[in-house]
Amino acid sequence: METAGGKLVSELSRETPDERFGRLLAANHAPLTRLAASYAANRSDRDDLLQEIAIALWRALPSFRGECAERTFLFRIAHNRCITHLSKRRYTVSLDDAHIDAEDPQASSEAIVAEEQQRRRFVAAIRELPVIQREVLVLFLEGMGYGEIAAVVGISESNVGVRLNRARQKLKALLGDRS
């Protein structure tokens, strides 16, 4: 059996937990950062959430027996941490906080600046979506199919489709309001 990361289960069993943990983090750092950003209020909050996800992954990895793709397993843990993290949010989101990752502050090109502003608006709009819509949309934007999203979130594929459609309509409206 092959995992989403391209590793055979027999190869995985030879990895130490520390090696597996490092490999998974390295391979999924950018998607996890984006996922955390969609649930965090600002950059510091995002980093805290990323840390919580890493700790949860470290604790859960020994129980992983290859029943599902590694990525599904990883995102299920990350998603659950994000949901738990929502209860701790004590501040509101501002547009300035809506960046996903560090961009070059010295960027001189107007196109780059405009693109970054557009991206911030986009992320801010995603954060305004209800959680049940946001969770499926973010995973879809990460390139997951309905089946994998269903496995991560714990709902049926048809429900994924319904939520995704509603999320798309709502996001479109939010982006329209902001432009």
Partner 1 sequence: MSVDGEMEGWRRQWQGGAKPVVDADAIERLRRGVVRETFWSKWGLIFPIFATLWSGATIVMPALRSGRALVVLLGVESVVFIVVVWVVAFWLGRGTWRPLADTTAAFIAISIRRREAYIRGAIAGACLYVAQFALLVLVFGLSPAGFGAVLVSAPVMGLGWIGIPVVFAGLYWFGRRQWSDLERLRELKRQLPSD
Interface contacts to partner 1, rule CB under 8 A: 21-22, 25-26, 29-31, 33-34, 37, 50-51, 54-55, 58-59, 76, 79-80, 83-84, 86-90, 99-101, 115, 118-119, 122-123, 126, 130-133, 135, 138, 140-143, 153-155, 159, 162-163, 166, 168, 171-172
Nearer to partner 1, 9 or 55 (CB): 55
- Asked whether the beta carbons of 124 and 95 are under 8 A apart, the reply is yes
Instruction: Quote the least distance from Cβ 80 to partner 1, whole Å.
Output: 5
Q: CA nearest 3: which of 62, 67, 69?
A: 69
Which residue number, 10 or 91, has a Cβ lying nearer to partner 1? 91
Task: Convert 89-122 to b/e letters by CB count within 10 Å (16 or more is b).
Answer: eeeebeeebbbbeeeeeeeeeeeeeeeeeeebbb
* Angle, alpha carbons 116-178-139 (nearest 5°): 65
Between 14 and 89, whose beta carbon lies closer to partner 1? 89
Q: Which residues make Cβ contacts (< 8 Å) with residue 101, sequence separation at least 6?
A: 30, 33, 34, 37
Q: How far is the CB of 132 from partner 1 (least distance, A)?
A: 5
Shortest gap between Cβ of 100 and partner 1 (angstroms)?
3
Nearer to partner 1, 7 or 163 (CB): 163
